[in-house]
Chain A
């Protein structure tokens, strides 16, 4: 077993983690970035198009992730292709056990693990995963060419998915538990003007069913309690995200949804442990705010040294 000592261990290589890595290099910190996926980049990797990152209008999510990685590589940021299993707070230093069996001791740990797709919790959701239930419209839309599908959700991703699928599928039911969307107004406008998207407000998916693959969904109206069954070949789930904060349970304070409590300075309730990006409590989870967190976290780490 190999033991290493670092000033800073950054867990996650999305925009927050990589921005922190760049600022860490500039602060001449002896640092390492842990990335569990072989190609990091976080959620933006699977975003088809990014329209709101300043200066790079319309860039593909994958391309933007590559640019972030190139930037870190140009500064010779070291990466380890492994995840963190546990963090032990030993006071002046933290011990990070890695999935590859190694251990790193670090003065500071920055958790930038982001968030992942939330599950609906509907009956049949797991049984039909990959058999009509999908969390990636751009990956799996082609399997539903000319068919009828449902999209669940009301945020940017749900509306983007519905719009993408409107060009591939015969009809899309957009199922949302409220009558208004969180999504950007421009997306709402586009959805309204797309004739093969039917909006079903106040409905929640209770069941996903079929024989070998998805054939129907059962919806329930959360106002009138009325149930209805719709014939669909696929269900795309985009109901939001949940934080990847498990590793800090019992170490740092979290809110009731599992986001690690921190303000703009990215300090957690545990000294020497910092959080950046979607995993922390904040009101706006975007690439630009994640990048900002990365910079602020390193500023705090430097101040606290």
Chain B
């Protein structure tokens, strides 16, 4: 299960992480986010040592969403060495997500 990171933890958990990081911005009432959950879980399990998967709840960390100009749930951001390298907006299928993941590991 991907860890939920707060605004305060974002620097250490995401920007300074050794591995590439996949960050899902989600909201509590968002059903496509619920649909995405098992797909992210699968990526997390299958690429355990290669990519870190975390989540940001926009209901709690709206500032973080605003900082990264995220205005739709779900939105997935990929970070490598502290920089955003890619983003996917909306629900995505496993093969498409996997293709992007493979680019960054």
Known: A38-B39, A38-B94, A142-B58. A130 touches B31 (CB 8 A): no
Instruction: Answer yes or no: B18 CB below 8 A from chain A CBs.
Output: no
Most chain-A Cβ atoms within 10 A of its Cβ — which of B32, B69, B71, B94?
A: B71
CB-defined contacts of B59 to chain A, threshold 8 Å:
142
Q: How far is the CB of B34 from chain A (nearest CB, A)?
A: 6
Interface stretch, picked from B8-16, B22-30, B45-53, B77-85, is B22-30
- Majority-rule SS of B interface residues: loop
Known: A139-B27, A139-B33. A131 touches B93 (CB 8 A): no
Instruction: Answer yes or no: B62 CB below 8 A from chain A CBs.
Output: yes
Instruction: Answer yes or no: B100 CB below 8 A from chain A CBs.
Output: no
Query: Are B72 and A61 touching (Cβ within 8 A)?
Result: no
CB-defined contacts of B54 to chain A, threshold 8 Å:
none
Instruction: Answer yes or no: B89 CB below 8 A from chain A CBs.
Output: yes
Complex Cα spacing A220 to B53, Å: 46
Complex Cα spacing A138 to B32, Å: 10
Complex Cα spacing A164 to B31, Å: 14
CB-defined contacts of B29 to chain A, threshold 8 Å:
48, 138-139, 141-142, 164
Query: Are A139 and B32 touching (Cβ within 8 A)?
Result: yes
Query: Are B72 and A130 touching (Cβ within 8 A)?
Result: yes
Query: Are B35 and A141 touching (Cβ within 8 A)?
Result: no
Of B35, B72, B73, B74, the residue contacting A45 (CB under 8 A) is B35
Known: A130-B89, A139-B30, A140-B27. A39 touches B72 (CB 8 A): no
CB-defined contacts of A234 to chain B, threshold 8 Å:
71
CB-defined contacts of A131 to chain B, threshold 8 Å:
69, 71
Total contacts A-B at CB 8 Å: 68
| B89 (CB) vs chain A CBs: closest residue | A130
| B58 (CB) vs chain A CBs: closest residue | A142
Instruction: Answer yes or no: B21 CB below 8 A from chain A CBs.
Output: no
Query: Are B93 and A38 touching (Cβ within 8 A)?
Result: yes
Query: Are B31 and A138 touching (Cβ within 8 A)?
Result: yes
Q: How many residues of A contact B (CB 8 A)?
A: 24
Complex Cα spacing A187 to B74, Å: 28
CB-defined contacts of B90 to chain A, threshold 8 Å:
130
Query: Are A143 and B31 touching (Cβ within 8 A)?
Result: no
Query: Are A130 and B35 touching (Cβ within 8 A)?
Result: no
Complex Cα spacing A139 to B70, Å: 12
Instruction: Answer yes or no: A221 CB below 8 A from chain B CBs.
Output: no
Instruction: Answer yes or no: B40 CB below 8 A from chain A CBs.
Output: no
Of B28, B32, B58, the residue contacting A143 (CB under 8 A) is B58
Complex Cα spacing A234 to B74, Å: 17
Query: Are B32 and A142 touching (Cβ within 8 A)?
Result: no
| A60 (CB) vs chain B CBs: closest residue | B31
Query: Are B35 and A143 touching (Cβ within 8 A)?
Result: no
Of B30, B39, B93, the residue contacting A136 (CB under 8 A) is B30
Query: Are B27 and A46 touching (Cβ within 8 A)?
Result: no
CB-defined contacts of B71 to chain A, threshold 8 Å:
130-132, 134, 140, 143, 213, 234
A to B CB contacts below 8 Å, 14 in the list: A45-B31, A62-B34, A131-B69, A134-B72, A138-B31, A139-B32, A140-B71, A140-B73, A142-B29, A143-B27, A143-B72, A212-B69, A213-B69, A213-B71
Interface residues of A (CB under 8 A from B): 37-39, 45-46, 48, 61-62, 130-132, 134, 136, 138-143, 145, 164, 212-213, 234
Closest 4 CB pairs of A and B: A139-B30, A130-B72, A142-B27, A138-B29
- Inter-chain pairs besides A38-B35, A45-B31, 12 sampled, C-beta below 8 Å: A38-B93, A45-B35, A131-B69, A132-B71, A134-B71, A136-B30, A139-B33, A140-B72, A141-B27, A141-B29, A142-B29, A142-B58
